[in-house]
Amino acid sequence: MAIGGAVTTGRKARWALVDIIVVVYALVPVLWIVSLSFKTKETLADGNFIPREWTFQNYADIFATDEFIRPLINSLGISIIATLIAVVLGMMAAYAIARLDFPGKKALVGVSLLIAMFPQISLVTPLFNIERQLGLFDTWPGLILPYITFALPLAIYTLSAFFREIPWELEKAAKMDGATPGQAFWKVIAPLAAPGVFTTAILVFIFCWNDFLFAISLTSTEASRTVPAALSFFTGASQFEDPTGTISAAAVVITIPIIIFVLFFQRRIVAGLTSGAVKG
C-alpha cells in the first residue's frame, strides 16, 4: 500500500505541475491586460505586474465616449442575430444530414467543409466590392451575412453530430403516438438536441464576437463597426497620449459577454440527457 500511495502522490504532483503550467501559460496575458487596464498613465510602462497605483479612470474614459459604446451595441446586435440565424438554419440542415437520404447530401457536406477551410482573407476584397455595389457596406447585414456563411459549416457539423446521437426510434415512437413530423421534431428531437444547440450557439457567438478581419474591412463608420475593429481606432486625448490603458480596459470589457454567455449556457449543456431513452 505504501508503494501504491507513493506512486499516487507522485502522479498527483506531476499532474498538478502540468495543470499549473497550462493555466499560467493561458492566463498570464489575460491578467496582464487586466493589470494594464487598472494602471494610471504614468505607471503604464513601469513593468510591474501588479499596479502600484490603482485607477478606474480607463473604464470611466471608454464609457464616456461613443467611440466604445456604439461599437459595443453593434457587436452585441450583430453577433446575436448572426448566431440565431446560423443556429436555426444549422439545425434544419444538420437534421436533414443526420436523418434523411437525399440527392446531393455528400456534395452539401463537402461544400460546407470547403467553406470552413476557405481562407477568409481571400474573400475580403470581393466581398468589399460586392457589398459596396449592393449598398450593404458598413451596415449590420453587411457583417451578419458573411458571419452566417462562415458559422454555418461549424453549426452544421456540431449539430449533426448531436442529432446522430438521438435514437431514431424516438422519432418513430412519436409518429406512432400521433405526432406530425413537425411535432416529432419540436417536442421530442429538439429538446434532446438542446445541449448541442447551446454548444453550437456558444461557438458561433464567439466566432462572430471575436472576428476582426471582416469587421475592419467591411465597415467604415460607427454605424456598424464592432468592438474588435473599433479598438484599433482608439486614440488618446492628444497625439502624444498613449491609448494603451483605454484599449486594455475595452479589451477586458468585451471579454465579459463571452464569459457570461458561456456561464449562462454551461448549465444547460448537460451530458447524457438522452440516457434512459432506449436500453443502453
Partner 1 sequence: MAEIVLDKVTKRYPDGALAVSEMDIEIADGEFVILVGPSGCGKSTALNMIAGLEDISSGELRIDGARANEKAPKDRDIAMVFQSYALYPHMSVRENMAFPLRLAKVDDATVRSKVEEAAEILDLTQHLDRRPSNLSGGQRQRVAMGRAIVRSPKAFLMDEPLSNLDAKLRGQMRTSVSKLQRQLGTTTVYVTHDQTEAMTLGDRVVVLRGGIVQQIGSPQFLYDHPANLFVAGFIGSPSMNFVPATLEDGSLKSPLGTITLTDRVRRLAEAANAPREVVAGLRPEHFEDAALMEESHRQSGSTFTATVDVLESMGAEKYAYFTVEEELATTAELEELAADAGSADVPGTGSTIVTRLSASSEAREGRPLDVWFDPDRIQLFDPSNGANLTYSG
Closest residue by Cα to residue 134 from 227, 229, 218: 218
- Does the protein bind partner 1 through residue 170 (CB under 8 A)? yes
Q: Toward partner 1, which CB reaches closer, 176 or 260?
A: 176
Q: Toward partner 1, which CB reaches closer, 118 or 186?
A: 186
Q: Toward partner 1, which CB reaches closer, 195 or 257?
A: 195
Least distance (Å) between residue 201 CB and partner 1: 19
Which residues between 150 and 169 bind partner 1 (CB under 8 A)? 167, 169
- Does the protein bind partner 1 through residue 179 (CB under 8 A)? yes
- Does the protein bind partner 1 through residue 213 (CB under 8 A)? no
> Contacting partner 1 (CB under 8 A), which of 64, 191, 242, 266?
191
Select from 56-64, 133-141, 217-225, 268-276 the region that touches partner 1 (CB under 8 A): 268-276
Distances (CA, A) of 100 to 67, 104, 172, 190, 280: 49, 11, 14, 16, 24
- Does the protein bind partner 1 through residue 172 (CB under 8 A)? yes
Q: Toward partner 1, which CB reaches closer, 105 or 132?
A: 105
Q: Toward partner 1, which CB reaches closer, 106 or 279?
A: 279
- Does the protein bind partner 1 through residue 268 (CB under 8 A)? no
- Does the protein bind partner 1 through residue 269 (CB under 8 A)? no
- Does the protein bind partner 1 through residue 96 (CB under 8 A)? no
Q: Toward partner 1, which CB reaches closer, 138 or 171?
A: 171
Applying CB under 8 A, the residues found at the interface with partner 1 are 167, 169-170, 172-180, 183, 187-188, 191-192, 273-279
